[in-house]
Amino acid sequence: MSPNNVLTTASGAPVADNQNSRSAGPRGPLLLDDFQLIEKLAHFNRENIPERRVHAKGSGAYGSFTVTRDISDFTRARLFESVGKQTPVFLRFSTVGGERGSADTERDPRGFAVKFYTEEGNWDIVGNNTPVFFIRDPLKFPDFIHSQKRLAQSNLKSAQAMWDFWSYTPEALHQITILFSDRGIPDGYRHMHGFGSHTYSLINAKGERHWVKWHFKTQQGIRNLTPEAAARLAGTDPDYAQRDLFNAIERGNFPRWNVFIQVMSEAQAAGHEQNPFDVTQTWSQKAFPLVKVGELELNRNPLNYFAEVEQAAFAPSNLVPGVGLSPDRMLQGRVFAYADAQRYRVGTNYQQLPVNAPRSPVNHHQRDGAMAFGSNGGAAPNYEPNSNAEAPKQSRQHGEPALALEGAADRYDQRSDTDYYSHAGALFRLMSDQQRTLLLNNIAGSMAGVSVEVVRHQLQHFFKADPAYGEGIAQALGMPLNQAPGHSKQTR
């Protein structure tokens, strides 16, 4: 037998018998010194790492990003330095609120997270298939997710909790309108757009900063599922989106996205009436048109789901010179929360795993921790400054230009901007009659069984976005208009 075919323990020792446990006689009890038995059972008990609190169920694939336009006026990032340049990527799609065993066809936003393995380190864009989000302050994120998850007593999801929270969160209405529209249930992952959602920044060689929004437009065309089709697939093929993505790539039908940016100068942002860092609102594409900068293709499936998809770790704190963050409150919160979640979920050294490891040199002073790979830094000092001429040193040339800040530190009311409704109302008015009917029926169906108090509280938001929006929901719920808060003859 070839040495390559000999079964071994994790420590490399050959296994003589993998069919029978050691026992005291043929009928006797098992023995504690059966290391193979203990190792197999102990490892089995630990095969599942804690699932992500959000985006638990996902699919992923490898591919490449190709530059199609010179944007050196905006960024010094080397992955954009020449037209035609390619950078390897890993993209993970996901549902947001469901557990790992949930159906791919639930009405839910879809995660769209891209890891660029650049020559200057890993850069992550951690976004969704929607350009906005439900909340604008990370202090409310645990509350929002708790309202979407299972109740403490019954362990059941609750429409009452969901709409109760939303009725007190008017800034969520824009995302709600998207979620319950005809685009609320994408037909797999290949036929949907992706968005960075947040405002990010690009920094050029002159040290000039521009604010940007990232858009990934599917070349496959938008396709969505009806509620009826989604429910059928949830019962017959709950892994529908994952199967579709995997099989398409295996067939050589590689999905592609056109990559665009919207660009806003710091001066434009300072004079902009709308807060450009509010993730519950979009930027006007008339004022800030889409600029195509590249194409993204997925062309290789992972060989092992757990190693490459489940352990894939994304964080907006993964940046490279020439790309940066912004004062977006939600983005600022995610910079901490995402990396911290990976340290808890996967482990202290999660960035050393192959799917997360940079393709560029790594030189730092972090040592030890569970599952440290390689030499653990060897004999090199793990402090800085030091007298070792070969030790890594800081490089000021890679720093960002100063960002001017002002104002006294305080807990400023994030709702001082009360424009919760204009974007949702504009989206509603853009819809066709068929799209509006579907939206109204979807929302009414979701609110079935919700208390009258919560329904009445939420209805006022629909009316403020557009009178026809509120009237349609009230009628779909069977509520007389004279009992609907926010309705009046003047609104008709």
For residues 57 and 74, the answer to whether their CB atoms sit within 8 Å is: no
Active-site positions? Answer: 55, 128
DSSP, collapsed to helix, strand or coil, labels residue 112 as: strand
CB burial of 280-313 (b: ≥16 within 10 Å; e: otherwise) equals bbbbeeeebeeeebbbbbbeebbeeeeebbbbbb
Instruction: Take residue 111 and report the two structure tokens written for it.
Output: 């995660």
Query: In this structure, which amino acid lies at residue 213?
Result: K
What is the C-alpha separation between 450 and 151, in angstroms, rounded?
15
Q: How many C-beta atoms surround the C-beta of residue 170 within 10 A?
A: 21
Q: 331 burial class (0-12, 13-18, 19+ CB within 10 angstroms)?
A: buried
Is 490 in contact with 471 (CB distance < 8 Å)? no
Q: Check if the beta carbon of residue 224 is closer than 8 Å to that of residue 183.
A: yes
CA-nearest of 117, 110, 100 to 62 is 117
C-alpha neighbours within 13 Å on the C-beta side of residue 190: 20
User: Which DSSP helix (H) or strand (E) runs through 401?
Assistant: none
Residue of 58, 61, 84 whose CA lies nearest to 297? 61
Residue found by looking up tokens 């434009």 in the block: 268
Please enumerate in sequence order all residues whose Cβ is within 8 A of that of 251, keeping only pairs 6 or more positions apart, or say none.
Answer: none
Q: Which helix (H) or strand (E) holds 66?
A: strand 58-67
Note the helical H segments in 417-484: 422-430, 433-446, 452-465, 467-476
The angle subtended at Cα 455 by Cα 454 and Cα 459, nearest 5°, is: 120
For 279, the token pair is 């993730």
What is the C-alpha to C-alpha distance for residues 452 and 163, in angstroms, rounded to an integer?
A: 11
CA atoms of 324 and 283, how far apart (whole Å): 19
Pairing between strand 58-67 and 256-265?
unpaired
Instruction: Show contacts of 208-212: CB within 8 Å, 24+ apart.
Output: 208/401, 209/266, 209/324, 209/400, 209/401, 209/403, 210/74, 210/263, 210/264, 210/265, 210/266, 211/263, 211/264, 211/265, 211/266, 211/269, 211/276, 211/277, 211/326, 212/74, 212/261, 212/262, 212/263, 212/264
Query: CA-CA distance, 341 to 138, in Å (whole number)?
Result: 14
- Amino acid in the structure at residue 71: I
